[in-house]
Amino acid sequence: MLIRHRSAWRGIAALAIVTAGTPVASHAQQSKRRPPPPARAGRDSAGGMAGMNMSGARSDTGGGSAGSQGGANGMGGMSGMSGMSNGSSGTTDGQGDMASMPGMSGMSRMVPMPAGMPMMAGIQGAAPTVSLYLPAADADPARFPEASPRKVATLADGDTFNLEASLVRRTINGRTFVMYGFNGQYPGPLIRVKQNTTVTVRFTNHIDMPSSVHWHGVRLDNRFDGVPGLTQEAVAPGQTFVYTVHFPDAGIFWYHPHVREDIQQNLGLFGNMIVDSPDPAYYSPVNGEQVLMLDDLLIDKQGLFPYGKDAADFTIMGRFGNVLLINGEPHYHLDVHRGDVIRFFVTDVSNTRSWNLVFGGNPIKVVATDVSKFEHEVMAPSVTITPAERYVVEVHFDKPGTFPITNSVQGLNNFQGEYFAEVDTLGTVTVAPEPSAASYAQAFSTLRTNKDVSADIARYRQYFDKPPDKQLELTVNIQGLPVPLVAFMSVDTMYFSPVEWNDGMPDMNWISTAKQTKWIMRDLATGKENMDIDWHFKQGDVVKIRISNDGQSMHPMGHPIHFHGQRFLVVARDGVPNPYLAWKDTELVPVGQTVDLLLDASNPGKWMAHCHIAEHLEAGMHMTFTVDPK
């Protein structure tokens, strides 16, 4: 069951940037900004959220004065997309009362508002300037096959695998919806291969809009990267495209469309790939493995909340769901024995939500991330993960009982200027009193220094301190929104979060579309923006890229930046060296922060780099770079 606890407090304390659970640098978040107004009457005050140092990065925003430190392009071309489903009746967890709103192509529908968060005065009659879309909106869901839980597809070198995208029927919390699925599964098949395997994937598109498959994090041949308009044409409904996928790196990766990700990915088109190293000691021994894909859906009393058809909506902050899912289910459960050590492969596949996972207070060891193990393993009380990132963590369950897996974050109500603790229970782990068949407690308590990773990184260390070769600024240009909304947003920048853990202004966010919002990646050397940027590197170049996130923009927001086809090291944050090194392909740049990446430009081709918030991608936040062959 989704359980939500809230408490509000006044003020904003310090921002701590954390890597793998250890503070790297801190800044006064609220300098030159007024504190938010006091908590409203009738809401309890709390001192803050302790124990929120998070791996992989990023931000812990403290509570009030008495508190401890707190928690932490696609393409259009869609056809046959008309109407919307009435869905089924009922309410969803965390959803406030619904009211009718005129406008939306004759529909009476308004965005779900969290309990205690009113619609903003002056925009109650406003709506996105787009037509609406849901798959098979007028069809009986019973016409479509019921999706089944994910299956493992173990592939050998040279194998051919058929991957089909189609419409499926899903039942979530007792309500039935038409969604998408790969091979009729949720998530899509878990593809498992050995390192340096090459497979052929025949992708057939049976959904109602063009699609493709992007092999996220895999350094494969550029022709098969799956980006329409750059590496291939979009796969039209009923058509097939054949991908050749080579897996040079061990670890956890994932696949998803690169056409209207805000719709297709959110409706279920995603799956993981595990690439196993030939080294049997690549990871420490464990009693079991679990693969977790974190996602959310936005649902109101009528059903799935519609998407913008001709342009993405929710483009200010991205579409936050109000039903949180692990592997497509709202009630994840795992049974283990006392003393078991479980390895979790975790992927954030949500459109925009960042997560801070807590495993019921059980100790967590952070082992690996996107493209490699960490050079040094670390212990952490929780794991922070942002869209498209992956983490490999091990958890030791040494006491019997039932433990919640929670998303423990610090939310923001933009209207009231309030921060509040928000804890959502995603699932449970029941630890039986019987002991493990084999004890790996000693291996778990040992923090390894991975010499193979150190040796791989060694030849790049000479470049850590060089001046940046390229510099990007992340910002936004918003035009044409209702005057009350624009006026509010000019004040809203006075209290921002370095990471958006929740949607603190759902109505304003919903109204904004890719027609009004332009998210920007700007090359500071040339002033060029987004697809006008055309960087060129030579194969083998080591490129230092400095990315800064404009904290004074109309709506400051953290951005998970993904570079296709390559790998990089995060070498510094705000000029402070990062001691927790691992190869990555996606990294969050928090609001007001600067991150230095060292790109290993080893894979030739013309590639995309972009923000992995799906609605930001649709609102223009993408660029290209070319790695010319030797």
DSSP 348-373: E-SSS--EEEEETT--EEEEE-SSSE
What domains sit in the chain, N to C, each tagged with a CATH number?
4-73+287-439 (2.60.40.420), 141-276 (2.60.40.420), 461-628 (2.60.40.420)
The answer to whether the CB of 187 falls within 8 A of the CB of 236 is no
Helix (H, G, I), strand (E, B) or coil at 151: coil
User: Within 13 Å, how many C-alpha atoms sit on residue 275's CB side?
Assistant: 27
Of residues 56 and 174, the one with the higher pLDDT is: 174
Average the pLDDT over 153-176 and give the result: 98
User: Within 13 Å, how many C-alpha atoms sit on residue 250's CB side?
Assistant: 17
Residue 484 has which token pair? 């009350």
Please write the tens of the pLDDT for every residue from 175-192.
999 999 999 999 999 999
The C-alpha atoms of residue 608 and residue 617 are separated, in whole angstroms, by: 11
Average the pLDDT over 220-238 and give the result: 98
Amino acid code (one letter) for 225: D
Please write the tens of the pLDDT for every residue from 109-149.
888 887 777 666 666 667 888 999 999 999 999 999 999 99
The C-alpha atoms of residue 413 and residue 9 are separated, in whole angstroms, by: 11
Does position 46 have pLDDT exceeding 70, yes or no? no
Average the pLDDT over 306-335 and give the result: 96
Task: Tell me what the pLDDT averaged over the chain comes to.
Answer: 83
pLDDT at 109: 82
Average the pLDDT over 30-48 and give the result: 28
What is the C-alpha R_g of the chain?
23
Please write the tens of the pLDDT for every residue from 266-314.
999 999 999 999 999 999 999 999 999 999 999 999 999 999 999 999 9
pLDDT at 491: 60
pLDDT at 505: 78
The C-alpha atoms of residue 511 and residue 496 are separated, in whole angstroms, by: 20
Average the pLDDT over 19-42 and give the result: 28
Minimum mean pLDDT among 56-65, 159-168, 260-269: which range?
56-65
pLDDT at 496: 64
Residue 236: CB partners within 8 Å, gap ≥ 6? Answer: 205, 210
CA 25 to chain centre: 24
- Split at pLDDT 50, 70, 90, the class of 495 is low
- Split at pLDDT 50, 70, 90, the class of 402 is very high
The C-alpha atoms of residue 452 and residue 250 are separated, in whole angstroms, by: 12
Query: Structure pTM?
Result: 0.84
pLDDT at 566: 98
The C-alpha atoms of residue 564 and residue 511 are separated, in whole angstroms, by: 31
Does position 459 have pLDDT exceeding 60, yes or no? yes
